[in-house]
Amino acid sequence: MDSYPADSKREISLKEAVENFDKFEKSKETKWIAGRVMSIRGQGAIVFITLNDGTGAFQGLLKKDVLGDDKFNFFGEVADIGDFIEIDGTFFTTKRGEKTLEVKDWRMLSKSLRPLPEKWHGLQDVEERFRKRYLDILMNPELKELFKKKAKFWNTIREYLISKNFLEVETPAIENTTGGADARPFKTHHNALDIDVYMRISAGELWQKKLLVAGFPRTFEIGRIFRNEGISPEHSQDYTQVEYYMAYADYNEGMEMTKELYRLIAKKVFSTTKFKIKDFDVDLNDEWKTYDFCKMVQEKFGLDPITEVYSKTGKKATKKDLEEICKKAGIEFESKANLARTVDSLWKVIRKEIGGPGFLINVPVYLEPLAKINRNNPKTVERFQVMLAGSEVGKGFSELNDPVDQRARFIDQQQLRDAGDDEAQMADMEFVEALEYAMPPAFGFGVSERLFSFLMDKPIRETQLFPLMKPIK
């Protein structure tokens, strides 16, 4: 018998076998079914097996007097749990009421050379689970359901945006200049062009805004992005994000749309709007609060992020003052850090206590080089971030479409990079040139798969199919 044949005689899936069982049992017709052997039990002249093909499970009965001595004995000699086999026979109900196929013939489809993990315990070591994710999923039905739910999560977002007349697009993953986020990129070399390039750090933000210039009023992309940064329960370096952009809208309209989308995801994917995330009880159906960035930083640490005045001295904060504030906040003071990085670090202390749902607003201009100046306070921008369970889970803003302002902010960012801030944004003057042809007022929003991991209340690596692992030496 061929251990790895190229073909299969399977006629129906195991799900179909269950759904059409009554018909097949009544007609007495024979059918070929197939799957992985998940259990073998019995002795003597009778053996029961359980198959699983990914659509469902089904029981088979092998009897020596039906199969014949040779095929029955050969099964006992070579078949193991973990093998893929196919069986042919008729359907009947056992005395215990179990739907079963009485096997008249069998065939090996793929021989397993290694034993599967013990059924009730599976893989216990976290690193081994991630390295052998295929076994982790195979032995853990709940994990399999998680990834089905994750697919539904992305499909829900896609269907929602398409229903709103957004066009799905694909933008480059390899770029000459990264843009759309404050993050450290992966750098590589393009051999054909003999140039150094970067893996993108956003789902095509600047490209999609060029499409607004091109005349597409609404676009979105669901794609992979790459950030060469640290690993944490909330952060990965290779993950999926959705970004969408719509002309003739601002961040006020965007906030309403975001609430609508998040509530839709909750209901369609999780069948509830209430979640337990870390130590927070969150209901997305509650009224969404607003949180003032500058006001909260000033109230907590006495530092005005706009004027840089430290309330303790009544003067502009010195390096020594910033060190004192960081010590009070329980965070490390980085002597080379600029004001933006220090203020952002202080905010991250505050956000841990915010359960949400809500929107963080009134962020200083120097923290967001791509957002439009706030019409009510020119020292801040029209940006919001979704606050959920002590973290930001989604960001949107009124898009900056003034090329003069954009050029100036890119120059400021480049100066920060030149001073050693490798997370500051690169100056993309080709994007500025596109803005010079005029981009309509627009709203843009992005959220990553972190939202899914939050709603599942799991670390992000637990909700990724194959998280990157160091090779075993």
| Non-local CB neighbours of 448 within 8 Å, separated by 6+ positions | 225, 239, 240, 241, 242
pLDDT band per the 50, 70, 90 thresholds, residue 472:
confident
284 and 180 in one domain?
A: yes
Q: Tell me, what's the pLDDT at 277?
A: 95
Q: Tell me, what's the pLDDT at 314?
A: 93
Q: Is the pLDDT of residue 236 over 80?
A: yes
100 and 32 in one domain?
A: yes
Q: Tell me, what's the pLDDT at 180?
A: 77
152 and 104 in one domain?
A: no
Q: Tell me, what's the pLDDT at 127?
A: 86
What mean pLDDT do residues 242-258 have?
97
Q: 46 in a domain, yes or no?
A: yes
Q: Tell me, what's the pLDDT at 419?
A: 82
Average pLDDT, the chain: 93
196's tokens: 């150094």
Tell me phi and psi for residue 269, to 5 degrees: -95, -40
pLDDT band per the 50, 70, 90 thresholds, residue 44:
confident
What mean pLDDT do residues 313-332 have?
90
CATH number of the domain to which 230 belongs: 3.30.930.10
pLDDT band per the 50, 70, 90 thresholds, residue 244:
very high
Q: 333 in a domain, yes or no?
A: no
| Non-local CB neighbours of 455 within 8 Å, separated by 6+ positions | 265, 266, 269, 270, 275, 277
Q: 336 in a domain, yes or no?
A: no
Structural domains of the chain, count: 2
421 and 284 in one domain?
A: yes
Q: Which domain holds residue 83?
A: 14-110
Give Cα separations from 331 to 275, 343, 347, 349, 413 (angstroms).
Answer: 30, 12, 11, 8, 24
Give Cα separations from 53 to 103, 187, 340 (angstroms).
Answer: 17, 42, 54
CATH number of the domain to which 106 belongs: 2.40.50.140
5's tokens: 């044949």
What mean pLDDT do residues 255-262 have?
97
The total number of residues shown for the chain amounts to: 473
What mean pLDDT do residues 390-406 have?
96
169 and 100 in one domain?
A: no
Instruction: Beginning with the edge strand found earlier in the chain, give each strand of the sheet holding 174-175 in spatial order.
Output: 174-175, 195-199, 187-190
Q: List pLDDT tens digits, range 340-356.
A: 888 989 999 999 999 99
What mean pLDDT do residues 365-384 have?
94
395 and 282 in one domain?
A: yes
What mean pLDDT do residues 85-114 have?
97
Q: Is the pLDDT of residue 372 over 90?
A: yes
Q: 155 in a domain, yes or no?
A: yes
Q: 388 in a domain, yes or no?
A: yes
What mean pLDDT do residues 197-202 have?
93
> Contacts from 269-274 at CB under 8 Å and sequence distance 24+?
269/149, 269/152, 269/153, 269/156, 269/455, 270/149, 270/455
Q: Are 406 and 430 in contact (CB under 8 A)?
A: no
pLDDT band per the 50, 70, 90 thresholds, residue 119:
low
89 and 160 in one domain?
A: no
Q: Which one has a higher pLDDT value, 182 or 135?
A: 135
214 torsion bin: left (phi>0), alpha (psi -120 to 50), beta (else): alpha
pTM of this structure: 0.91
What mean pLDDT do residues 207-225 have?
97
229 and 83 in one domain?
A: no
Give Cα separations from 141 to 35, 119, 120 (angstroms).
Answer: 16, 11, 11
Q: 238 in a domain, yes or no?
A: yes
Q: Tell me, what's the pLDDT at 124?
A: 72
What mean pLDDT do residues 129-138 have?
92
59's tokens: 């029981």
245 and 156 in one domain?
A: yes
How far is Cα 461 from Cα 459, in angstroms, rounded to an integer? Answer: 6
What mean pLDDT do residues 443-467 have?
96
What mean pLDDT do residues 93-114 have?
96
Q: Tell me, what's the pLDDT at 16?
A: 98
Q: Are 156 and 165 in contact (CB under 8 A)?
A: no
What mean pLDDT do residues 351-366 have?
95
Q: Tell me, what's the pLDDT at 420?
A: 80
275 and 179 in one domain?
A: yes
Query: Which segment of 149-158, 381-390, 406-415 scores lowest on mean pLDDT?
Result: 406-415
Q: Tell me, what's the pLDDT at 123?
A: 67
pLDDT band per the 50, 70, 90 thresholds, residue 162:
very high
**What is the number of alpha carbons within 13 Å of residue 244 lying toward its C-beta?**
26
What mean pLDDT do residues 290-315 have?
94
Q: Tell me, what's the pLDDT at 125?
A: 81
449 and 380 in one domain?
A: yes
462's tokens: 């637990």
Q: 101 in a domain, yes or no?
A: yes
Q: List pLDDT tens digits, range 419-440.
A: 887 778 888 999 999 999 999 9
Q: State yes or no: cis peptide before 357, omega within 30 of 0.
A: yes
Q: 96 in a domain, yes or no?
A: yes
Q: Tell me, what's the pLDDT at 121?
A: 61
386 and 283 in one domain?
A: yes
